[in-house]
Chains A and B, each alone.
Chain A
Amino acid sequence: MTRILVVENDSRNRQLYRDVLIPLGYTVVEAVDGESAIPAWREHHPDIILLDIGLPGISGLEVARQIRRSEKDDEHVPILAVTSYTAGDDPEKAFAAGCDAYMPKPVNLEELKTKLEEVLKLAR
């Protein structure tokens, strides 16, 4: 079972991701903001993170940077960023912060499925 950490502040979107990902065979764990994302990552050791960049407070970019800084040399959790293209939120910045892939919001579900598989494959 693949464990996925969904970092998303909007509850309906978290619900959507659960409704999409669980049928695909993922074990979904969640964080509702940037602050709780790091502890959740430490606690659950997810195989992949779906990280919304446009989080209030600590942004998704900062979350990615902190995770990359905290990882040991042999660790690398794949991160798929979901960008809202707001100011200071573009794909290049996501890559620079340590994300492995990105997709724009609103997400296309087919694309989401494909991207997750691609990123996981790269990590293995």
Chain B
Amino acid sequence: MMQRMGDMDETRRLHERISELEQLNTELRSSEERLKILFEYAPDGCYLSDLKGTLIHGNKAAEEITGYRREELIGKSFLKLKLLSTEQMPRAAALLAKNALGKSTGPDEFTLNRKDGSTVPVEIRTYPVRIGGQRLTLGIARDVSARKQAENVLRERVKELTCLYRINHVMQQQPAIDVLCRQVVQLVVSTMQFPEIAVVVIELDGSRYTSKGYTEGLSHGLHSEIRIGKKGFGRLSAYYTKDKPFLIPEEQNLLNTIGEDLGLWIEQQRAEEALKKSEEKYRDLFENASDLIQSVKPDGSFAYVNRAWRETVGYSEGEIPNLSLRDVIHPDSLAHCEEVIQRVLKGEIVLGVTATFVTKDGRPIEVEGNINCRFEKGIPVASRGIFRDITKRKKMEEELRQTIKMKSEFYSHVSHELRNPLNFILGYAQLLSMEENLNDVQKRFVENILAGGERLVPLIEDFFELSKLDSGHITLKRESQPLKPLLSLVDQDHQLAAQAKGIQLTFHDEGTVDDEAILDAVKFRQAMDNLVGNAIKYTPEGGKVSVTLTKGANQFAIRIADTGVGIAPEDHDRIFHEFVQVENDERTGKELVPGTGLGLPIAKRIINLHGGKISLQSELGKGTTFTVTIPAGGEDDKNTGRRE
């Protein structure tokens, strides 16, 4: 019984053991399957070989990398499969030797020859393993063609950039164009994929620059046009002297970039050259100009002065660099000049600047001109002035002023000197005419003396008036005046004289002319009197004289039109000069119209003093129209009393 009990226990244990083993076996099997799957689908090519290189096992990726099926590989030595080129064999053998010593290797780069003849770069690691007591090699080969390609692209890119950088560097040295082209062709050659068989050519403006190895008749190259502006100017070309390899797009891009750079560079060089030439041309122009030209730096030293400047101010070219603006500006003019220069340095262009220079020997020179400033990137570099020596002009103006003053004094003197004798001539003639017992003949004689003397009176008065107007000391007494009543008075004053000659004298104002003008009523009326009086004087009996007042935007216009003898075109300017009376007797056969010849000059001066103008239109035998315009608001005060 006990025995049986013992057997039963034994059996049960055995069963348990069996089931444990079965369990273990199942687990082992599934573990092996997992490993198989991992091996089979690993992304890298995995193989097992013996230490002599005979392949025992390989995975799917190994098939893909080599292009062989597994059956074709297993049992064969990779040496015989020609998977590796002969040159790589020793290195491959070295790996196996290391594995035999129990060492792992890698990664090492190899190029595998695939079944289809193409090649693939791989990185191989090997590990010594022991399976079933046998010593084997586990190899893992990774396809690195993508990485290789990226590396190549990067290498090419670095080459390109290096090439472009070097070309740029050469360009910055501002070499001659032929020097640049020769350097560029060499640099481009070294950047090509296969420099040893590459030839680069630049054809430019009829010249050809080539790298070594150039022969006529090269074809199938890459080309890039060199453009200046939009115009083709030359060509950059690259060729391989052997058919293989092919030129790649990256090389085309490189050529395009360099071609473009060359075009821009040449364009820039030409622009700079043109600028230089133009600067030289202008410098020449400046140097020989008759005006004084100067360029002054902000610190007051001279950057440039032209010959006329040096000759006028009296310094030699060598002295200019040590000269400051302060040395040549008259102390009286300095403050004004500095103020102007400050304005100019802020960007203003100042026109009509007057200044006084001092020559080296101390003479003052009056100049007038314009100043502006040259800026570079917003910073003032130099003020540039162009001046005219107006010393002579000033002197002439002063002489003219003196002459006018003398003339005015002369008029004044003559006027005075004429009055004294006239006073007693007329005085005694008056006394004589008062005598009661004069006979008719005597009376006629006395009347003629009186008439002659009286004719001299207005002449003397006009003389004096003109001397006052010319002296420049006259001040208009301006007040706001309605023009219409003023002209009506003039009209009335002359009605008698007009009627005496049967002349129809009329006055109109066109539209509403109630507006007032600012003027000296006495003087202005005198001018109008002279003009209307003249018109009546020069109009034959039965004619017409009309005075018309109109108002424009900013001015009044007064037209005095007559149907008189007219004024020949050549006399239109002359009649405003003193003592000019157009001699009409020859044409009309009539007596010369008496007058002082000063009426028009006086009228013109008065009108000019009011800021107005006088003009005339005339046709001989038909009549004359004088047109007087004066500003509606009166002239600016600064012009008051100034000579015309």
Contacts and interface: CB of A to CB of B under 8 A. Distances in A.
B464 A16 contact: no
Nearest to A87: B412
Contacts of B431: 16, 19-20, 109
Would you list the 7 A-B pairs with minimal beta carbon distance, nearest first? A106-B423, A16-B427, A105-B419, A86-B416, A12-B424, A106-B426, A16-B424
Contacts of B423: 10, 13, 16, 105-107
Interface string B271-308: 00000000000000000000000000000000000000
Nearest to B413: A86
Nearest to B468: A87
A15 interface: yes
Nearest to B427: A16
B578 interface: no
A78 interface: no
A87 B425 CA distance: 23
B428 interface: yes
A108 B461 CA distance: 15
The contact size tier of chain A is: 10 to 19
Given A87-B468, A109-B430, A10 B415 contact: no
B420 A105 contact: yes
Interface in B384-421: 408-409, 412-413, 415-416, 419-421
18 contacts: A10-B420, A13-B420, A13-B423, A19-B428, A84-B415, A84-B420, A85-B464, A86-B416, A86-B464, A87-B412, A87-B467, A87-B473, A105-B419, A106-B419, A106-B427, A107-B423, A108-B430, A109-B431
Contacts of B453: 106
A105 B456 CA distance: 12
Contacts of A86: 412-413, 415-416, 464
Interface in B420-472: 420-428, 430-431, 434, 453, 457, 461, 464, 467-468, 471
Contacts of A19: 428, 431
Contact of B416 (A15, A54, A107, A108): A54
A16 B464 CA distance: 24
A34 to B, nearest CB: 15
A20 B432 CA distance: 11
Nearest to B473: A87
Interface in A34-76: 54
B453 to A, nearest CB: 7
A13 B428 CA distance: 10
A37 B385 CA distance: 63
Most chain A CB neighbours (cut-off 10 Å) among B409, B424, B426, B453: B424
Contacts of A16: 423-424, 427-428, 431
B458 to A, nearest CB: 12
Interface string A10-30: 101101100110000000000
Most chain A CB neighbours (cut-off 10 Å) among B416, B419, B467: B419
A70 to B, nearest CB: 27
